Homo-oligomer: A and B are copies of this chain.
Amino acid sequence: MVGGGRGAFIGAVHRIAANIDGQIELVCGAFSSDPERSKASGADFFLPANRCYGTFEEMIKAEAKLPEGERMDFVSIVTPNHMHFPPAKMALENGFHVLSDKPATLNLAEAKKLGDIVKKTGQLYGLTHNYTGYPLVKEAKAMIAAGKLGKIRKVVVEYPQGWLATRIEASGQKQAAWRTDPKRSGAAGCIGDIGTHAENLAEYITGLEIEELAADISTFVKGRALDDDGNVLLRFKGGAKGVLHSSQISVGEENNLNIRVYGELGGIEWHQKEPNTMLVKWLDQPMQVYRTANGYLSDAAKAAGRTPPAHPEGYLEAFANIYKNFATHIRAVQAGKKLPKNDLALDYPKISDGIRGMAFIEAVVKSSRGNAKWTKLKV
């Protein structure tokens, strides 16, 4: 693991996600750029001091020298955005698979470069667009792929939060500090941090690609360098239209990612804050309420659950589904087995999603600078 020492948020999430299924063991880490802090963090996780490294470079070099079976199998990257590309590149080039937090890189150019490296090295690369790990998100995708909603016409995807409604980055809140700093976060704030999750979710569920967009992003909190709110009109390949908006200043909203998709025959609605429920809407028939873990769900949705109906599953389990699939894929590769194209274990976000995410961010920023001019995603 790179990053995720004491005090970090997403590192703890990654560790729980890796732990849940008892299939993955944390064996080493460069948890902090401060070697002492890295060792102290590692001790919290019951790691021996010699596998707690001061830098990712040190870690990758040292682990590469260990015998097979003992050295780490893959690297989790859980640092701020500007530190995603360097360890990913080095790990891949030294024969390690990589599971990275999103966004893949700091900008589109880096993401494309990373795409080439993944291709060249043949190593596996996964990206924790974790919301795609929810069972009912997989159900929505399966329903649409099976044509149950008919041709898709309209998509509304939202990701409102309220935690940055005041300038908490000025008071030393660490999570807020790097997310509002262009050097560590990239060209966009809100759109990069959570807008990309909305974009990824919309494309994952519908199977459609955003072709062009018209964006109006804003910075409402004085003194902030990056956007904290964004409203975007979408046009998908094939004719569907949509609206995407994300916000960090929507007071009282927690983490309210949600999506509605309407086709010619039906529609779906899903909210991350009650993730075990999905509304399914029909022409002239009563709305249905799909719930996680029931027998009527698709194989993909059923495989993503761990408990019977109404033992609510949450964010950590969805996150763990990315880890589980990634680990299963690695095992297949290690065993020299090629998984069939429709194997459920292949259902995790990859570098191609990372590239589209960066293209989305750059298109939004460019469109907004052009006063909401229609701008194509360039992948």
Contact = CB atoms under 8 A, between A and B. Distances in A.
Interface string A6-44: 000100110110011110001000000000000000000
A308 B255 CA distance: 9
A252 to B, nearest CB: 2
Point out which of A241, A260, A263, A276 has the most chain B C-beta atoms below 10 A from its C-beta: A241
A285 interface: yes
A72 interface: no
Contacts of A306: 12, 16, 316
A313 B315 contact: yes
Interface residues of A, number: 85
A249 B9 contact: no
Contacts of A229: 153-154, 241
A178 interface: no
A289 B254 CA distance: 12
Copies of this chain present = 4
Interface stretch (A179-187, A291-299, A329-337): A291-299
Interface string A248-282: 01111111100010111111000011111001111
A273 B310 contact: yes
A20 to B, nearest CB: 5
B231 A242 contact: yes
Contact of A22 (B15, B220, B310, B314): B15
Given A20-B16, A154-B249, A251-B282, A243 B266 contact: no
A371 interface: yes
A249 B262 contact: yes
Contact of A153 (B15, B26, B220, B296): B220
B22 A20 contact: no
A218 B64 CA distance: 56
Contacts of A233: 214, 216, 231, 233, 372
B247 A154 contact: yes
A121 interface: no
Nearest to A25: B46
Contacts of A283: 162, 165-166, 251-252
A94 interface: no
B296 A9 contact: no
A177 interface: no
Contact of A9 (B295, B308, B314): B308
Interface of A: 9, 12-13, 15-16, 19-22, 26, 45-46, 149, 153-154, 156, 158, 162-163, 165-166, 214, 216, 218, 220, 229, 231, 233, 235, 241-243, 245, 247, 249-256, 260, 262-267, 272-276, 279-291, 294-296, 306-317, 371-372, 374
Closest 4 CB pairs of A and B: A252-B281, A254-B310, A255-B310, A314-B314
15 contacts: A16-B20, A19-B21, A154-B250, A162-B281, A216-B235, A253-B281, A254-B310, A255-B309, A286-B294, A311-B315, A312-B312, A312-B314, A313-B315, A371-B374, A372-B372
